Amino acid sequence: MREDVKEYYGKTLAGSEDLKTDACCTLEAPPQNIREIQKKIHPEVSGHYYGCGLIIPQEINGLRILDLGSGSGMDVYTLSAMVGKSGYIVGVDMTDEQLAIARRHREYHAEAFGYEQSNVEFHKGYLEQLDELNLEPGSFDLIVSNCVINLCQDKEAVLKHCHRLLKEGGEMYFSDVYSDRRVPESLRQDPELYGECLSGALYWNDFHNLAKNCGFADPRLVEDRPLGLNNDSVIERIGHIGFYSATYRLFKIDDLEPACEDYGQAVKYLGGIEEQEQQFTLDKHHLIEKGRLFPVCGNTYRMLNESRFAKYFEFYGSWDQHFGIFEGCGSSLPYDRVAAPNESDSGGGCC
């Protein structure tokens, strides 16, 4: 399947417009500041973009970032402009043709962003074998990835490497495709459905459990959208399954609790984060208004207090008293479910 994926992204697809579904497309327009940067990206790079979401969190100036499955380099170069001269981006991909495009335009982008030398590098490698690339454990502030992990055969190995490579308080912030049920093995063997980022997708609850097993105890959903399959042959084969593009953030913070627990704590956002002056978005369930006391569970308190966001918050409360489970950090069914394209709406359940 690895060779099929290389063939798909290296040879079958001549550019973004050859995709059969909107699984590997980012439909929503990025914020204005990112649009301005992306106008400077070389057209050969943007013409081979196959990402499914926006993988740029807040407050990244000066960060050292790893992009898993960096493809033609669209996100690497966007991040390159955003981290400034003191930041650095490492891209990893296994497909020669994609790497060649990305590498070809290093100097072009350094010049476009006003840097004396490029602040990006690209490595050829498999994400399941990141340990072979000589990357220092604990050396990245942020790991991003855009529509790639679904294509990896051993997703557990990938997440474990990420946990090892992140600094304490760092995070993975990545978009990928998830399904509303487990995809049967027969469909996983279909090279087109796999290459289109569908049949390798994890069932969302398997992903949550996998992330927890790999050291990311409290996965946070940032945003999601149902995917349009938009192709009769694809719908016929896999249309009974609902697919979603979703962006998660996984903080590397030791001993987060397996559930959101209430210690009566709260935070106050002080403002100061670029593009989020009035409201800070931690995830889909935490839109934290500037100046307002915002009750949080113990895990959210620690995500803000033990990460690069700490200086933008005031923290209230202690760990002395436990008040039970904390309601409000998200439901067990993360996505707003919609009927799959060929799903009957006859219901049939007892409720």
Ligand X SMILES: C[S@@+](CC[C@H](N)C(=O)[O-])C[C@H]1O[C@@H](n2cnc3c(N)ncnc32)[C@H](O)[C@@H]1O
Q: What is the contact surface with ligand X in residues (CB under 6 A)?
A: 5, 9, 24, 49-51, 69-72, 74-75, 93-95, 98, 126-128, 146-148, 151-152, 197
73 contacts 81 by C-beta, under 8 angstroms: no
Q: What angle do the packed helices 155-165 and 204-213 form, to 10 degrees?
A: 40
Nearer to ligand X, 100 or 339 (CB): 100
CB of 126 to ligand X, least distance (A): 4
CB of 303 to ligand X, least distance (A): 25
Q: Which residue has the tokens 């962006």?
A: 247
Contacts with 327 (C-beta within 8 Å, 6 or more apart), sequence order: none
Count of alpha carbons within 13 Å of 197, Cβ hemisphere only? 28
Distance of CA 49 to the CA centre of its chain: 15
Nearer to ligand X, 74 or 162 (CB): 74
The stretches of the chain forming alpha helices (DSSP H) are 2-7, 32-38, 43-46, 74-83, 96-104, 106-112, 155-165, 185-188, 191-195, 204-213, 232-238, 298-305
Nearer to ligand X, 69 or 169 (CB): 69
Nearer to ligand X, 124 or 322 (CB): 124
Nearer to ligand X, 174 or 301 (CB): 174
Nearer to ligand X, 144 or 303 (CB): 144
Nearer to ligand X, 127 or 162 (CB): 127
CB of 30 to ligand X, least distance (A): 13
CB of 296 to ligand X, least distance (A): 32
The helix/strand/coil state of 294 is strand
CB of 72 to ligand X, least distance (A): 6
Count of alpha carbons within 13 Å of 152, Cβ hemisphere only? 22
CB of 118 to ligand X, least distance (A): 19
268 by Cβ neighbours in 10 Å (0-12 / 13-18 / 19+) ranks as middle
43 phi/psi in degrees, rounded to 5? -60, -30
Q: Which residue has the tokens 């296994």?
A: 94
CB of 129 to ligand X, least distance (A): 8
Q: Dihedral sign for Cα 50, 56, 61, 63, please.
A: negative
